[in-house]
């Protein structure tokens, strides 16, 4: 049956339009395929790929002798694709005890809907091996490893505040790791990975890849042997004195290089997350305190340089002085009568220093303080350095000048004070403290060397020599006798300062900071040092508790640096009369003809500190009973007598005439 004409026309038009549409579509497909195909394919790939920034290992931090202090290693990080895990509950419970993450935390990560999640970053090698064995044994799916860099500190707490630590994402968070982050960091490189339409990494497209170029290695001025000596002695001092905190700095006066820098309390940067901010604080640069009598060395330097006092000048001390209605007394409360300028320094007499400070005046006293580096950050490479606090001379009253002359009403950092005492040892030249010696490239070639930087000539070499001789008398005859180092000539100044209240208003009654700053050997100074013990319990004078720490450290540092002693330079203060005559400190052990089996020889202890005597006796298994304080003057059993281990040795100690 034939279709009506009108219907035939409509059908023809429909077929024609259909053919035209098909032709257009075919043409468009052909254009997309052959004309735009390459461009569109690239756009799809771009949309389904993501660039990850991958960081190569950080450079190593060494001490001045090439000992590793901080090093990076490649560790496996465990990740998962939850959609490929058969049993999330089982996987979480199996992994938890190995990786140290709770089953609940792992389950939460695996149940979040993402195709890629971290289970544990930078696993220890033993844990990574255990996970690998578990995957194989239980045929677990959906788990894999990526190699990442992890920072290690092989000496644990040694120089912790100096080194700092690195966070999970390879960012330095404290210490040199933070301040030198850009130098230490290795090469960054972008790594393309495939993602799904939501931008989530596709499991099989993630590669274990790290750029090859590490960051620069850093060689510090720190000597790890001296650092160990310092930290061991500081720990012993903290235990013996009950101090709440402590700081020790050792510096080379002629170069400004810091050989050791220790703070207490401390922490282990390998486990930094277990500690609070107080333990991480580098007290050598980040705290300020009133220096007390150690600052009198700067006042004496200014007075000698300006000629307002002569080394042989005589003063009359009545025990106190009235300034602007304020009475300032000597630390001992005593009146010394007619005394010399040398006696004022040796015995740290407040009234004498007040008179000298007033002769100088506020402007000159403050200018010399600035010349020695106070009131401004030293610029050392460590983060968090404070500037300290000085008066503006035009705002100072006579009472302010008087208190500044005895080390009060100003605030300094331990590093500033160390640099100042080192300047006196260095013929009056103030050097910038340095803790970085050099940078080296990955192949060991030298990249950059840091030379000594002279800041200014604070006082003349002649003044520095005169003052050094006077400060030597502090150690040999004055309040710093307990700082004496057998066989060497050392100079220094003791300090005892009241602690400021936390709000900076007034002083905290019964709380002190004891310190000792010194340098030596005097004839050719190789080291300058500062000991600070914060808030000790019981005895708190710097000459009593900080000076012995200086002696202990310096006696060991001289051996580390191989500096030969001058046998005629040390004279033990004569003991008070007693029934037993002590053996001279220089006497050498003389073994008897025969030592009975099972016996040991009692050592000669005269001249030893309480700690030195204890270590000597305990090393031999002998019982130790100390009586008194100061230095050993006699002992209950004659030296070199054979005794059985466990025998009781009573050692009598007497204090020399100390001053703060």
Residues 186 and 249 in one domain: no
- 3-state SS, residue 291: coil
Buried b or exposed e, range 42-64, using 16+ CB within 10 angstroms: eeeeeeeebeeebbbbbbbbbbb
Task: Summarize the confidence of residues 402-420 as an average pLDDT.
Answer: 96
Same domain assignment for residues 160 and 244: no
What is the pLDDT confidence band of residue 618, given thresholds at 50, 70 and 90? confident
> Is residue 39, in this structure, part of any structural domain at all?
no
Residue 6, domain member (yes or no): no
Q: Residue 308 pLDDT > 60, yes or no? A: yes
| 538 & 627 share domain | no
Do 323 and 265 have their domain in common?
yes
Q: What pLDDT does residue 168 have?
A: 73
DSSP 489: -
Least confident of 220-234, 441-455, 592-606: 592-606
Nearest to 552 by CA among 533, 574, 539, 537: 533
* pTM for the full predicted model: 0.73
List pLDDT tens digits, range 241-287: 999 999 999 999 999 999 999 999 999 999 999 999 999 999 999 99
Cis bond upstream, residue 506 (ω within 30):
no
For position 499, which CATH number holds? 3.40.710.10
Tell me which range, 74-83, 539-548, 611-620, is most confidently predicted by mean pLDDT: 539-548
pLDDT at 115: 78
Could you report how far apart the first and last alpha carbons of the chain are, in Å? Answer: 130
Residue with the larger pLDDT of the pair 48 and 613: 613
Q: Rounded mean pLDDT of 169-198?
A: 75
pLDDT of residue 1: 53
Mean pLDDT of 9-19: 77
Q: Report the alpha-carbon distance of residue 244 to residue 45 in Å, rounded.
A: 62
Residue 58: the pLDDT is 87
Q: Does residue 548 share a domain with residue 611? A: no
pLDDT for 290? 95
Q: What is the pLDDT of residue 599?
A: 82
**109 falls in which pLDDT band (50, 70, 90)?**
confident
User: pLDDT class for 302, splitting at 50, 70, 90?
Assistant: very high
Band of pLDDT at residue 7, cut at 50, 70 and 90? confident
Q: Kindly state whether residues 199 and 228 are assigned to the same domain.
A: no
Does 343 lie in the same domain as 415?
Answer: yes
pLDDT of residue 201: 52
Domain ends where: 220, 241, 275? 220
Is 572 a residue whose pLDDT tops 60? Answer: no
Q: Who has greater pLDDT, 243 or 639?
A: 243
Kindly list the catalytic residues. Answer: 293
> What is the reported pLDDT for 593?
41
Q: How does 248-286 read in b/e, with b if 16+ C-beta sit within 10 Å? A: bbbbbbbbbbbbbbbbbbbbbbbebeebeeebbbbbbbb
Q: Which two tokens stand for residue 604?
A: 């000669």
Residue 524 to residues 193, 253, 564, Cα–Cα distance (Å)? 63, 10, 12
Q: Tell me, yes or no, whether 28 lies in a domain.
A: no
pLDDT of residue 594: 55
Q: Do 280 and 185 fall within a single domain?
A: no
- Whether 37 is covered by a domain: the verdict is no
The residue segments making up the domain with residue 631 are: 572-660
Nearest to 389 by CA among 407, 403, 404, 376: 376
Is 485 in contact with 552 (CB distance < 8 Å)?
A: no
CA–CA separation, 631 and 629 (whole Å): 7
Q: In this structure, are strands 61-62 and 68-80 parallel, antiparallel, or unpaired?
A: antiparallel
What pLDDT digit, counting tens, does each position of 323-369 carry? 888 888 887 778 888 899 999 999 999 999 999 999 999 999 999 99
- pLDDT of residue 131 exceeding 70, the answer is yes
For the chain, what is the domain count?
3
Q: Is residue 601 part of a domain?
A: yes
Same domain, 526 and 594: no
**Residue bearing tokens 């930078």:** 122
Q: Which backbone phi and psi does 188 adopt, to 5 degrees?
A: -100, 140
428-450 per-position pLDDT tens digit: 999 999 999 999 998 889 999 99
Number of Cα atoms under 13 Å in the Cβ half of residue 14? 6
CATH number for the domain spanning 178: value is: 3.90.1310.10
Q: Is the pLDDT of residue 589 over 70?
A: no
Q: Is residue 528 part of a domain?
A: yes
Residue 128, pLDDT above cutoff 90: no
What pLDDT is recorded for position 341?
94
What percentage of the chain has pLDDT greater than the value 90? 51
pLDDT over 90 (residue 41): no
My answer on whether 298 and 422 are in the same domain is: yes
Residue 245 resides in a domain: yes
Does 113 share its domain with 259?
no
For residue 247, give the nearest of 73, 48, 417 by alpha carbon. 417
Q: In the structure encoding, which two tokens stand for residue 257, read together?
A: 């290089």
Cα–Cα distances in angstroms (integers) from residue 271 to residues 157, 164, 244, 245, in the given order: 10, 11, 22, 21
The mean pLDDT of 92-121, rounded to a whole number, is: 86
Q: Are residues 352 and 446 in the same domain?
A: yes
Q: What is the pLDDT of residue 503?
A: 66
Please compute the mean of the pLDDT values over residues 167-179 and round it to a whole number: 89
Question: Mean pLDDT score of the chain, rounded to an integer?
Answer: 84
Least confident window among 77-81, 227-231, 323-327, 579-583? 579-583
Residue where a domain terminates, one of 188, 204, 220: 220
Higher pLDDT, 113 or 92: 92
Q: With 90 as the cut, is the pLDDT of residue 76 above it? A: no
Mean pLDDT across the stretch 591-613? 73
Final residue in a domain of this structure, among 170, 196, 220 = 220
Q: In this predicted structure, which of 212-216, 379-383, 392-396, 508-512 has the lowest mean pLDDT?
A: 212-216
Give the pLDDT mean for 215-234.
94
Give domain status of residue 173, yes or no: yes
Window from 38-42, 292-296, 495-499, 555-559 with minimum mean pLDDT: 38-42
Q: φ and ψ at 148, to 5 degrees?
A: -130, 160
Q: What is the average per-residue pLDDT within 632-658?
A: 78
């Amino acid at each position: 049956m034939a279709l009506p004409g009108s219907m035939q026309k409509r059908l023809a038009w429909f077929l024609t339009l259909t053919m035209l549409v098909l032709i257009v579509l075919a043409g468009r497909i052909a254009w997309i395929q052959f004309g735009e195909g390459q461009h569109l394919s690239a756009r799809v790939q771009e949309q389904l790929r993501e660039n990850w920034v991958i960081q190569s290992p950080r450079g190593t931090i060494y001490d001045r002798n090439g000992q590793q202090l901080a090093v990076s290693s490649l560790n496996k990080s465990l990740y998962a694709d939850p959609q490929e895990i058969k049993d999330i509950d089982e996987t979480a419970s199996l992994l938890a005890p190995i990786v140290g993450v709770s089953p609940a935390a792992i389950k939460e990560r695996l149940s979040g809907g993402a195709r890629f999640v971290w289970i544990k970053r930078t696993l220890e090698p033993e844990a990574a091996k255990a996970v690998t064995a578990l995957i194989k044994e239980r045929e677990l799916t959906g788990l894999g490893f990526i190699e990442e860099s992890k920072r290690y500190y092989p000496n644990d707490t040694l120089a912790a505040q100096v080194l700092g630590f690195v966070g999970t994402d390879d960012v330095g968070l404290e210490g040199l790791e933070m301040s030198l982050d850009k130098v230490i960091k290795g090469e960054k490189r972008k790594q393309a990975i495939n993602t799904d339409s939501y931008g989530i990494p596709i499991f099989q497209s993630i590669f274990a890849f790290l750029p090859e170029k590490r960051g620069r290695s850093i060689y510090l001025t720190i000597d790890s042997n001296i650092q160990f000596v310092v930290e061991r002695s500081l720990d012993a001092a903290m235990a013996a004195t009950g101090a709440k905190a402590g700081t020790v700095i050792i510096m080379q006066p002629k170069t400004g290089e810091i050989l050791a820098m220790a703070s207490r309390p401390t922490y282990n940067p390998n486990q930094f997350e277990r500690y609070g901010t107080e333990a991480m604080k580098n007290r050598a640069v980040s705290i300020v305190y009133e220096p007390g009598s150690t600052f009198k060395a700067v006042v004496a330097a200014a007075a000698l340089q300006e000629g307002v006092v002569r080394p042989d000048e005589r003063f009359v001390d009545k025990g106190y002085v009235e300034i602007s209605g304020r009475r300032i007394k000597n630390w001992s409360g005593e009146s010394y009568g007619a005394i010399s300028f040398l006696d004022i320094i040796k015995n740290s007499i407040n009234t004498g220093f007040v008179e000298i400070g007033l002769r100088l005046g506020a402007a000159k006293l403050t200018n010399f303080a600035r010349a020695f580096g106070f009131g401004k950050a030293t610029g050392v490479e460590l983060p968090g350095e404070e500037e300290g606090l000085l008066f503006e001379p035009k705002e100072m009253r006579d009472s302010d000048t008087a208190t500044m002359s005895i080390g009060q009403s100003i605030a300094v950092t331990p590093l500033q004070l160390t640099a100042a005492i080192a300047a006196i040892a260095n013929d009056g030249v103030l050097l910038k403290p340095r803790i970085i010696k050099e940078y080296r490239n990955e192949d060991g070639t030298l990249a950059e060397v840091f030379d000594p930087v002279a800041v200014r000539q604070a006082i003349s070499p002649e003044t520095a020599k005169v003052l050094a001789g006077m400060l030597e008398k502090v150690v040999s005859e004055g309040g710093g006798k307990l700082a004496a180092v057998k066989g060497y000539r050392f100079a220094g100044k003791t300090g005892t300062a009241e602690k400021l209240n936390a709000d900076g208003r007034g002083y905290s009654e019964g709380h002190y900071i004891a310190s000792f700053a010194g340098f030596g050997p005097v004839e050719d100074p190789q080291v300058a040092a500062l000991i600070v013990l914060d808030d000790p319990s019981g005895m708190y004078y710097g000459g009593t508790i900080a000076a012995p720490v200086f002696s202990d450290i310096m006696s060991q540092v001289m051996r580390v640096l191989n500096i030969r002693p001058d046998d005629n330079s040390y004279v033990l203060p004569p003991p008070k009369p007693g029934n037993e005559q002590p053996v001279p400190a220089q006497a050498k052990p003389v073994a008897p003809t025969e030592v009975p089996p099972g016996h040991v020889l009692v050592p000669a202890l005269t001249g030893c500190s309480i700690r030195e005597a204890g270590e000597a006796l305990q090393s031999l298994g002998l019982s130790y009973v100390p009586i008194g304080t100061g230095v050993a003057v006699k002992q209950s059993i004659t030296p070199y007598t054979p005794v059985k281990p466990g025998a009781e040795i009573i050692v009598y100690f007497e204090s020399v005439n100390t001053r703060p």
